[in-house]
Chain A
Amino acid sequence: MILPDFEYRKAETVADAIGLYNEFAGNVRYLAGGTDLMPLLKHRLSTPAVVIDLKGILDLSTITAQDGWLTIGANVTLFALKQNQTIRDYFPVFYQSLEATACETLQMRGTIGGNLLQDTRCIEYNKSNDWRVARGFCLKMGGKTCNVVPGARVCLSNYCSDNALALISLSATVKVIGPGGERAMAIEEIFSGKGSKPFALEPGEILTHIRIPMEKSKGAYEKLRVRKSIDYPLVAVAACLKEDNARICVGGIGPAPRVYDLKGLGTDRVVDASRSTYADAKAVSNTTLSPEYRKRMAGVLFRRAVNKALKEEK
């Protein structure tokens, strides 16, 4: 498929990028690794006048450990993170989620910032323009109906980042800079919960850094997919244990990940929590496997992830 026409600009600093954003009155898309953006452009799901390349912002390509935080620049590739010894030693859940993301070729291209801010996906949305014209435009494309659930009022597309789940379970925070200034927030706050516009970021904001508290943790990442070699998650669970508490994040179903904080890790407590995961998971038939199955697996993977992390602790 051929890319549409757009102007290409490369920014060298964050201020540069925001300047360009203002210059083109917001009709822009930011480009990092491009593994999510390029297919969207080719499918005409995004049609910016200008693409602003952020890869040249060198400040965002470093990993530093300081003052009890590990700070990761948004331009660091997934592969580089996987090679980082601190991440392997301190955050096993994050290492496992990086390992489970796509394949190594894509990990070398994709950046952590781009991975977190990837658009939500749906089997009736990520399609060519011709296909979508034939099927009729859905809510996320600006149409009036959902093609998966007839009559639905909101879009239920799936947020498919593996690493977001791991970072949420690690209580990470993110820093964003936009035309309106700079702000920091817990990573789970970047989600709007709406499939049609999944992120609660202001227009023009750039995710610049991710910060993880430097505490050794035990963790496990469980991902369900048809092909172990490459696929997006059909449902995934990240679990991070610190002493007797656990923070568990369930994703791959619906437009935002769900977070569960457990105090005490007795078997009853975990089974109870996994039941509520099952109840909370609002799966619809927008992937290749049936929604009932994915809903059920949310609970199964929840128990698995916690048990795997517990075993590691011993």
Chain B
Amino acid sequence: MKVACENARQQIVAIAAEKLGVPEADIALKDRLVYSMENPEKKMRLSWVVREAFARAQPIAATGTFFPHIDLKREWISRPWGQMAGTFSYATSVAEVAIDPETGEITVPHFTAAHDCGRAINPMAVEGQMEGSVQQAGMAAITEGNLWDGGHLLNPDLLDYKVPLACDMPEIDAIIVESIDPVGPFGAKEGGIAIRMNAYSAIACAVSQATGTLFKEFPLTPDKVLELVENGKEETR
């Protein structure tokens, strides 16, 4: 996207420089105007440049590509080494869970997520991604799972396949930890996926710690959690 914009800008600058009779390096764009930095009196509306380009049958249109420096020969099993990604983002999830010892119901009063997303170009969007990750991984670990009866999927609908709704969500503290990536556009890395990768681990660890026992299956529906609570009691005896 950033490269495409730069290419589009280059096309605008070329036409404007020709029209204003100044070198391309002297052109600047601001407030929908194209002007000369040396002599700001020399200026024209951006819309004129666009119209001019259209009249020349060369409308302003640009594409751009970016490919990170990765080792394309890398493969998970046969060649698990080499650079796997252009950059690496990091995240930490902290889940606080309360378990009803009689029914096994889990409630999550509070969830804290911190995420190194590079530069947060739109911080509110990054927070939204992080909260979405807490829903899709964190709360989903408690509710979402497919049920099968032979080859028949028993919950192919959103009533029985239980996606957590807004009222099921915990209080979330989303902490953005900025670091300026040298390669990513404007120093950005990614938003939210790193939380998506560890939010369920946080819930799992919290439940494991609370019940004092390990488990091997999601989702953590109350029937399974009640079993854990009881197994945990036996193990500590």
Q: Do A and B bind each other?
A: yes
Contacts of B154 in A (CB 8 A): 123-124, 288
Is the CB–CB distance between A229 and B160 below 8 Å? no
Is the CB–CB distance between A131 and B152 below 8 Å? yes
- Taken residue by residue from 226 to 241, chain A's Cβ proximity to chain B (1 for < 8 Å, 0 otherwise) reads as 1111111000000000
Q: How far is the CB of A239 from chain B (nearest CB, A)?
A: 16
A2 at the binding interface (Cβ < 8 Å): no
For chain A, the count of residues having a C-beta within 8 Å of the partner chain is 26
Q: How far is the CB of B2 from chain A (nearest CB, A)?
A: 40
Contacts of B162 in A (CB 8 A): 226-227, 231, 288
Q: How far is the CB of B217 from chain A (nearest CB, A)?
A: 13
Given A134-B152, A300-B102, does the pair A228, B222 have CB atoms closer than 8 Å? Answer: no
Contact pick for A288, options B147, B149, B167, CB 8 Å = B147
B208 at the binding interface (Cβ < 8 Å): no
Given A131-B152, A231-B162, does the pair A226, B222 have CB atoms closer than 8 Å? Answer: yes
Question: A198 to B149, alpha carbons, bound, how many Å?
Answer: 26
Q: How far is the CB of A299 from chain B (nearest CB, A)?
A: 10
A sample of 16 more A-B contacts (CB under 8 A), given A227-B164, A229-B165, is: A103-B165, A103-B167, A123-B154, A127-B157, A224-B103, A226-B143, A226-B221, A226-B222, A227-B168, A228-B167, A228-B168, A229-B167, A231-B159, A288-B147, A293-B104, A304-B102
Q: How far is the CB of B154 from chain A (nearest CB, A)?
A: 5
Contacts of B124 in A (CB 8 A): none
The interface size bin for chain B is: 20 to 34
A297 at the binding interface (Cβ < 8 Å): yes
Count how many pairs of residues, one from A and one from B, have CB atoms less than 8 Å apart in the complex: 60
- SS of A interface (majority): loop
A314 at the binding interface (Cβ < 8 Å): no
Contact pick for A135, options B152, B157, B168, B226, CB 8 Å = B152
Contacts of B231 in A (CB 8 A): none
Contacts of B23 in A (CB 8 A): none
Within 8 A of A (CB), among B188-228: 221-223, 226
Which residue in chain B gives the minimum CB-CB distance to A299?
B102
Is the CB–CB distance between A123 and B221 below 8 Å? no
Which residue in chain A gives the minimum CB-CB distance to B104?
A293
